[in-house]
Structure 1
């Protein structure tokens, strides 16, 4: 019988046992199989999992997220890769801010000329580039404060009245000198709607993307320009933590990511909402915040993998480990599941987590939940096997009258495309239409299990797939046999962690 350990023990009666020591020994063997995969070929993927888990954390305050990344940007050696990636994000999402900083710092004469000298055509019909259009519009509207700052290449300047009738005269502007005059004497232009409109789509930055990146990096680290750092600070504060992590953590080297994790741990304050315990990412956030030492970076990758990436970890094991590793894993899992359960051999392990000083004990719970996930996939292929397991673990259930069809890859209906879902919906509607005559019979047997057709005619549950409503979530969701391994293993882990966290605060 597979024990899910869902009944809370009387903790004062829990003592260490030989079976508990055996369980830890076998879990340690399983760790020795999984860990090398996370240290070698699967390491880039494991790092990506960790970055995504961090991105999913919800308790980081805006001011803290800004400080986390600012500390990295200001650390030594200079993080040019991180800064370059961040600047590209600012160019894409806040081009107006970047453009304003560029011109405030005088910029490059060549690029300034390119931006403001795009006067085309002659006579009455002209199509100005965005910079030139902003300059001419502002100059006409505010001619009383800025017209004298227009610098002309000819012997004399042009009046607003003349240029209004002959706009091609703008071709005679000395753009570089005019822009310098505006920078010094017409601050209103750089905060005007005309200038902002010319920058908002970021077209100016497309003139030479590499130049602008290098230019802004120099402003940040060589010139230490305050206005650049102000834009960076504002961006890091206002963007979501998830967005920043997904785009920036992948640029970090491992020592930098470790430093980020150490700083992150100090600002995590997850609220213990009951509904959140079913979220494995939330549990990982709790572990980081509560455990004073998560050990090496390798152990952090392992913790994240077994807590939040059960499906992906199994795929990695099969892809990177090959048949030999999979056979070894299967053998260890079978031995763990065969440990006698009369003394609840998981209880001493759970009890050892109560102090939550380190992540060592919690790691065993994560590995145990992965063992359950693996066992569900390998050992539960029929409706009867699932229902027997429910009964043995005191999980009340009833078969669902809506169930997920499986596609040729074994994915549940929830995993397929919208088009496939609509097709399935139409098929089910036709099935229901054929069964109208049976509705009266069904109503008379509401409290009994339905007898499902197990043939291959597609009308009932197939022998290797079913769908149930479970008491574990208040009968609120219909779980298919495809989704149950991940759901139940996560439910078990969240149940154990509830006990751990409840006791750790007493």
Structure 2
């Protein structure tokens, strides 16, 4: 049976030093086996797990998160990955931010359209036909500018018919613009009407950012130039405004995942300067608290590899277990099975003596051993938590109070969930249920016809079917380990209990530091 060591340690902690030494040697070998599986192709996935944990940090405010990502963007390497990705996010989610910058620098559009018929037609060929409300996009800008400056530029309009249209005629019949040779007209404006490219009409048409859809890559490259070569303040202001409007988790999951290890480490070191380790964090109230504590106390001495390993065993133990038992890692799987075959031979005194030794270690090393030890627990729980009997025996042996959570009992009026240590009297329960059903049936007979009565009889047996489903593998429990706040089934128990072990041991070690 797996011992979880959840009970408080004895007042005087003594143990076998040789047993502790053997445990450290086992955990070192376990670390090596896990890394062997990761470096053979799954390091990227484990790195994503780390980014996911980082994204859940709760103590960073909007101003701090903006500063963190601006610092990341300012790094030279970030131009072609992080900055490009961020611009794409802005274009897709807040195009008006970029559109307002284009509206102030419409001169860039002259180069954008020059010699590119596809772009010209996609933006300017949107004149309204009969019945439509008005011209759209670049067509609206072109028509407005042409009317406003008809004395100087109307002759540059090219028409598809035998003769051109006069301003007076088109003013009364704007749908005549549909006969405009858009491509040739815009090319004429590029050559002979420079004022159009800096006009208010063109600026107005692009400020909503819809023009970005014509060629997103072009505008990303242009904005990268404005950011890094021209250092245009307006672009950086727009970037900050966008980041201030986003959640920290959103930015991490879209930007942090694409940086290399050196920049990720720089980002972590920057985080360490703004993290606030409060009382909740010391009590490990949030999933990322262990990482926040590590970042705030010893970030400069922790490598990306160490962060990845710690995060895998502490925060993503279930995914790591799936990775380690994957058929692609058969060699590591066999090594793991052999290594952990006798890993449960650790008594209470030796365990807490091991924890006491951890309080005297370097913090990152201590957290690593505690995390790996909790994952050893998870590995064995995954092997043992297969049946209702094995799960409930595990609870009993480790002093965990539980209540069986199932649809049958939750449906009963005034029913109470059973506490740990009590047994179900199935026969008595069935008899009480039968008596209730018989009384209810008599009442219904007075009010309902035979057809409705038959339907109700079918409904009566639904709770019994639910009970049968629970007994056939769907049993779940409410546990004292998390204040009976949610139900855990056998598949979820290993992960929950391993995290509970880590939290319990880690809080004790933190109290000693």
Partner of 2:28: 28
CA RMSD, aligned part only? 4.0
Q: Does 1:58 align with 2:58?
A: yes
Partner of 1:351: 356
| TM-score between both structures, scaled by the size of structure 2 | 0.76
Q: CA deviation at 1:399?
A: 2.7
CA contact (8 A) 1:292 1:357 kept: no
1:272-314, Cα deviation, whole Å (9 max, x unpaired):
4389836433433333333345532211110010011111111
Q: Does 1:393 align with 2:402?
A: no
Partner of 1:71: 71
Partner of 2:423: 449
Q: CA deviation at 1:126?
A: 7.5
Q: Does 1:497 align with 2:471?
A: no
Aligned pairs for 1:236-385 (under 5 A) are 236-273=243-280, 277=284, 279-293=286-300, 295-319=302-326, 322-341=329-348, 343=349, 345-354=350-359, 358-385=363-390
Q: Does 1:233 align with 2:234?
A: no
**Matched residue SS, 2:399:** coil
**Matched residue SS, 2:255:** helix
**Matched residue SS, 1:8:** coil
Long gaps (5+) in structure 2: 115-119, 158-164, 428-464
- Tell which deviates more after alignment, 273-282 or 362-371: 273-282
Partner of 2:117: none
Counterparts of 1:178 and 1:351 in 2: how far apart (Å)? 83
CA contact (8 A) 1:120 1:126 kept: no
Partner of 1:94: 94
1:347-405, Cα deviation, whole Å (9 max, x unpaired):
23433454785311011111111111111111232333222222222112233334xxx
Partner of 2:4: 4
Q: CA deviation at 1:208?
A: 1.6
Q: Aligned pair in 2 of structure 1 residues 9, 47: CA closer, same or farther (>3 Å)?
A: same
CA contact (8 A) 1:294 1:300 kept: no
Q: Aligned pair in 2 of structure 1 residues 175, 322: CA closer, same or farther (>3 Å)?
A: same
Q: CA deviation at 1:493?
A: 1.1
Aligned pairs for 1:93-242 (under 5 A) are 93-105=93-105, 106-109=107-110, 111=112, 114=120, 117-118=124-125, 120=127, 128-133=135-140, 147=148, 152-154=153-155, 164-167=171-174, 181=195, 186=200, 190=203, 196=207, 199=208, 202=210, 204-242=211-249
Counterparts of 1:336 and 1:164 in 2: how far apart (Å)? 88
Q: Aligned pair in 2 of structure 1 residues 57, 274: CA closer, same or farther (>3 Å)?
A: closer
CA contact (8 A) 1:219 1:225 kept: yes
Q: Aligned pair in 2 of structure 1 residues 195, 363: CA closer, same or farther (>3 Å)?
A: same
Larger helix proportion, structure 1 or 2? 2
- Tell which deviates more after alignment, 495-504 or 50-59: 495-504
CA contact (8 A) 1:381 1:465 kept: no
CA contact (8 A) 1:53 1:281 kept: yes
CA contact (8 A) 2:340 2:376 kept: yes
| TM-score between both structures, scaled by the size of structure 1 | 0.77
CA contact (8 A) 1:104 1:183 kept: no
Q: Does 1:483 align with 2:488?
A: no
Task: Give the number of aligned pairs.
Answer: 455
Larger radius of gyration: 2
Long gaps (5+) in structure 1: 403-427
Q: CA deviation at 1:236?
A: 2.1
CA contact (8 A) 1:4 1:393 kept: yes
1:233-285, Cα deviation, whole Å (9 max, x unpaired):
22222211111111112221222222222222222224443898364334333
1:426-451, Cα deviation, whole Å (9 max, x unpaired):
xx79x97xxx9xx99x8899994225
**Matched residue SS, 1:469:** strand
Counterparts of 2:397 and 2:194 in 1: how far apart (Å)? 82
Counterparts of 2:86 and 2:405 in 1: how far apart (Å)? 49
